[in-house]
Chain A
Amino acid sequence: MPKLYTGAEIVFKCLEDQKVEHIFGYPGGAVLPIYDELKNHTSIKHILVRHEQGAGHAAEGYARSSGKPGVVLVTSGPGATNVVTALTDAYMDSVPLVCISGQVPTHLIGTDAFQECDTTGITRPCTKHNWLVKDINNLSEIMHEAFKVATTGRPGPVLVDIPKDIQFAKTRYKKPKKEKKLNGKFNNSFSQKQIDQLIELLKNAKKPVIYSGGGVINSGPKASDALREFVELTGFPITSTLQGLGAYPGDDNQFLGMLGMHGTYEANNAMHDCDLLINIGARFDDRITGKIDEFSPNSKKVHIDIDPSSINKIIKVDLAIVGDVSKVIGKVNKTILKKKNGHSKSNKSNIAKWWEQIQKWRGKDSLNFVNSNDNIKPQHAVQRLYELTKDKDTYVTTEVGQHQMWAAQHYKFNKPNRWMTSGGLGTMGYGLPAAVGVQVAHPEKLVVDIAGEASVLMTMQEMSTAVQYNLPIKIFILNNQYMGMVRQWQELLHEKNYSESYSEALPDFLKMAEAYGCKGIKAENPTQLDEKIQEMIDYKGPVIFDCHVDPNENCFPMIPSGKPHNQMILGPNDQEDNKIKGKGKALV
């Protein structure tokens, strides 16, 4: 007679077989059998958060910084609904999460029982797939498939809803199958012919640009290596989306900076004027493309993506290669090297003129800002943070808003998986719990959440988690007392009617730090900034850093709504000629 295991035991056996080391969660009635089993599995450490959304974002930070799936454990009803924001965030940014939720016992489903909700119904549109386990005999298979779905193809979140009676029921445990085909969901079906077509395009390009995205990061460190080799072999300029930062070194001369709404002048103009656009693992997001009708009007477009539904979704492309970035680019590099005399040297001279043009755009120095001796400019604060932490292999998370864009513009990333930000969903409150997750995955590394004071208040309770597990995360708040990005749009689009974007009663962050049992540091003028940042870095424990910055600073450059890439606003001096008119307003 084979040994029978309870549902709760099977959950942990599956987690062990999937090599899970950390789970982020919060107990409650409908998951108590699973929590009861936790003590018998010492290889798995549970991180108790203070709100289920925090568990989800922490798991996202964990996943994005480590390349492993993040695991979340929540109870039924409010536990499940609280995690929905994080699941949606992970879905938009392609982060592998496995969320296990408790459910009321099977016989009570549909009766409006205490803490019951239709979890699989609610999470259906924000997960890659979800399962309600109605039969204990399916539990191990479903758990293993959940990990497979979350981590293969384009990664994303999945949810397994387990009723309480199933957690108590007993059955045999089934090990994961070695190779299970997922209805062909894993796509790697490109051909050498497509690679040759790409090489042909590379050869003839006079004004090429590479536009890389989060797919390169998701494809693993090998993909970043392959991308670097590809850029070196071709000599082409490269720009990156918000999510792709770090795949290519941010301080390299061939890197044009981020593109899109708050991207650099040179990156956006290169996108507009190029004759060959190579999209590697990005999805033509609307913050990137600007006005669709005038998007890169004269270019041949190539799109490399693992998700076939990304191809031709927004922008029609001339050559689509569906596959894993590291595999595709690896193959391209090999082919280039094989044909070396035919291509690699001669093409670089082909594009010399193009580089000259790019240098001219660079001359605009579009990330420039007017610094001040009286108050701290937020851009300056990020620059100083970068200078003082760049030799430390620092991991950076952010919240959402102006500070996020300044971080993306002024903090240079040299390695993949060092930059965690909520791009697709734009979730304020992402950064603090994400930093918790990153620090759990990398206990020895410096982890900084570049935050805004409005965002960070949304998930501030997770400081308590950081203190409990002695996670030395640094919350670097650019405090301008406004919801800065909202204020900026109101200034530019709504005649400076700052409707509800000013926070009248902010907490004293120093006292807050003290209350949580961590360190608080405040910086109010530029002269003390470096010293205070250094103090933050040197402190062995979690820190809340309250950096008071100029409340009226706007984030530039900017593509105003209704405009294409080549009509950017550069800064305060340039604004007069570029007013956003009438109908453009409705469309941001």
Chain B
Amino acid sequence: MPKSKSAYSITTKKKKSDTYIFVVWVDNEAGVLARVVGLFSGRGYNIESLAVAEVDAVKNISRITIVTTGTPQVIDQIKLQLTKLVPVHKVAEFKREDKNVIFKEMALFKISGKKKKLDKCLNACKKFDLVILDETKTSKVIQITALRREIDKISKKLKPWGLISASRTGAVAMTRGAKIFN
């Protein structure tokens, strides 16, 4: 892009973008996810992953976890804009490097091949809380939980050993210790 001389575009200085995780508590009602996602797409923010499910059936509350990148100014805006939405109760944001927060993603892998290769796969996945969900003589469906980049890495590794299908969730997050976010 040519260097902007504009009086009308936003800042011309490119600042450093970081990865952040947003946790948003919302009323579980029709269209609420569309409001949150529409806010991101409408204002040009990026969504790397998204996880959403009801967490409180009595109060009808869903928890949305969004991984995004942006400059501190953009992250600040995302938080303030999210807070303005009527069905949003509270918003928390964490830097990916934050040591006080646990981030996890889950993946299901289907691998197929001869026993030797299947064993190789299982071995490689051992450290990621491996669960075997289904097996036949020539295939396995396994579940692992790990960090995003770990899953990126392992799925690359498993490809040549017979990984034929992968299904992944978005990241979910939880703070360490007894304190909860208010």
* A contacts, CB < 8 Å to B: 120-121, 124-125, 128-129, 132, 134, 149, 182-183, 185, 286-287, 289-293, 307-309, 311-314, 316, 559-564, 582-584, 586-588
Contact = CB atoms under 8 A, between A and B. Distances in A.
B30 A132 contact: yes
A587 B34 contact: no
B32 to A, nearest CB: 11
Given A561-B7, A587-B6, 7 more contacts: A132-B30, A149-B86, A183-B89, A292-B10, A293-B11, A587-B4, A588-B8
B7 A583 contact: no
A553 B80 CA distance: 43
Given A121-B34, A125-B42, A291-B6, A185 B84 contact: yes
5 contacts: A129-B85, A291-B7, A292-B11, A293-B13, A308-B84
A562 B2 CA distance: 14
A149 B11 CA distance: 32
B80 A308 contact: yes
B150 interface: no
| In the complex, the 4 A-B pairs of residues with the closest C-beta atoms, listed nearest first | A587-B6, A309-B80, A562-B5, A291-B7
Contact of B73 (A149, A182, A312, A561): A312
Interface string B78-98: 001101111111000000000
Contacts of B77: 309, 312-313
B25 to A, nearest CB: 10
B7 A564 contact: yes
Contacts of A292: 7, 9-12
Given A562-B5, A562-B6, A583-B4, A183 B76 contact: no
Given A124-B38, A293-B11, A309-B77, A185 B6 contact: no
Contacts of B31: 120-121, 124, 132
Contact of B86 (A128, A287, A290, A314): A128
Nearest to B5: A562
Nearest to A307: B84
B5 A587 contact: yes
Contact of A183 (B8, B34, B42, B86): B86
B84 to A, nearest CB: 6
B117 interface: no
A5 B8 CA distance: 53
Contacts of B89: 183
Contacts of B80: 308-309, 311
A124 B35 contact: yes
B4 A563 contact: no
Interface in B49-66: none
Contacts of A121: 31, 34
Contacts of A312: 73, 76-77
A157 to B, nearest CB: 13
Interface string B1-27: 011111111111100000000000000
Contact of B5 (A128, A182, A583): A583
Contacts of B3: 583
B9 A587 contact: yes
B85 to A, nearest CB: 8
B86 A185 contact: yes
B86 A308 contact: no
Given A121-B34, A124-B34, A125-B38, A308 B8 contact: no
Contacts of A125: 38, 42
B8 A561 contact: yes
Nearest to A120: B31
Given A121-B34, A128-B86, A314 B10 contact: yes
B5 A286 contact: no
A287 B8 CA distance: 7
Nearest to A586: B6
Contacts of A134: 30
B88 to A, nearest CB: 7
B2 A289 contact: no
A586 B6 CA distance: 8
A316 B72 CA distance: 12
A128 B88 CA distance: 13
A307 B80 CA distance: 9
Contacts of A183: 86-89
Contacts of B83: 308-309
Contacts of B9: 286, 292, 587
A175 B10 CA distance: 46
Contact of A290 (B4, B7, B35): B7
A582 B6 CA distance: 11
A410 to B, nearest CB: 24
Contact of B7 (A132, A185, A309, A587): A587
Contacts of B7: 286, 289-292, 559-564, 584, 587
Contacts of A583: 2-6
A563 B5 CA distance: 8
Contacts of B8: 286-287, 561, 587-588
A102 to B, nearest CB: 19
B6 A561 contact: yes
Nearest to A314: B10
A52 B13 CA distance: 43
B35 to A, nearest CB: 6
